[in-house]
Amino acid sequence: MNDMLRITTPAAMQELGLVWRREGLTVGLVPTMGYWHEGHLSLMRWARENCDVLVASVFVNPTQFGPGEDLENYPSDLERDSGLARECGVDALFTPVRDEMYAPDHGTWVTVPDLTANLCGRSRPVHFRGVATVVCKLFNLVQPTFAVFGQKDWQQLAVIRKMTRELDIPVRVEGRPIVREADGLAMSSRNVYLTDEERAVAPHIRKGLLLLESLVRSGEADADRLREAVMKYFEANIPMGRLDYLELVDPDTIETVGQVRGDVLAAVAMRLGKARLIDNMHIPFER
């Protein structure tokens, strides 16, 4: 493909997606809410290597924000994203407007209750219903061969995998590693909300997870004791942070584990000023 296409309506997107599918092209999709950082770009570069046609979407999906969340202030810079998309070799940038994605009487939802009772699903009750619904819509519109998501949103990835599998959606779901700043802070569009003081302590979120990993490696298996040690670390090093959750869960079922007896995911969400930051660490079991 030559110059990047800018597609703004769901109808035009689906028409093209169906043409590509009929032509037998491998289409890669990177769904985003914009305000791209290196994490997004790593997904695009990986997708670029693995497809004929690369589509990226930028859509701040209103249905995944609850009341009082940052929907109206969510950072955006479409011009900048568009330049970055060109640099990454995106063939088509899909940027629908809200009213075209959701009719005023929209009432069909995709829910994955098994995976959403814990972690972010607990503190953001409508979030994953919105995510699953919009991703399902994007899959139907773009008709991709595969779609790529970051592992920072581990629970989101698990939800999308299960939805895709259980609804027989013919899309391969790919998860890619978390991309971090040099000091370890997981990249996020929401990092822009941090003050200098908050930004200075934010890398301790990752350091707390590294501490947890080292305790597991040294033989501690009790989840309560592991959580206590890390919470103490957070209290000492991020005194202004308000912990939303720190949990050890099964990486597939997202159920809380009491004892580490297999692969485990340590997941954290913390409010720091205006930002709610999430991070996680997958700890494979070593016998």
CB of 165 to ligand PAF, least distance (A): 17
Report how far residue 209's alpha carbon sits from residue 279's, in angstroms, rounded to the nearest whole number: 9
Burial call 210-225: b when 16+ CB within 10 Å, e when fewer: ebbbebbeeeeeebee
204 catalytic? Reply is no
CB 157 within 8 A of CB 175: yes
The CA distance from 103 to 126, in Å, is 18
Instruction: Considering only the stretches 25-33, 110-118, 236-244, 251-259, report the one whose residues sit in contact with ligand PAF under the rule CB under 6 A.
Output: 25-33
Q: Smallest gap, in angstroms, from Cβ of residue 111 to ligand PAF?
A: 15
Half-sphere exposure of 97 (CA within 13 A, CB side): 2
Interface with ligand PAF (CB under 6 A), residue from 4, 13, 33, 264: 33
59: left (phi over 0), alpha (psi -120 to 50) or beta: beta
Q: Binders of ligand PAF: how many residues, by CB under 6 A?
A: 10
CB of 156 to ligand PAF, least distance (A): 6
Of the candidate residues 85, 134, 249, 270, the single one contacting ligand PAF (CB under 6 A): 134
Q: Show contacts with ligand PAF in window 78-97 (CB under 6 A).
A: none
If one asks whether residue 31 binds ligand PAF (CB under 6 A), the answer comes out as yes
Tell me which residues touch ligand PAF (CB under 6 A). 31-33, 61, 64, 131, 134-135, 153, 156
Catalytically annotated residues = 40
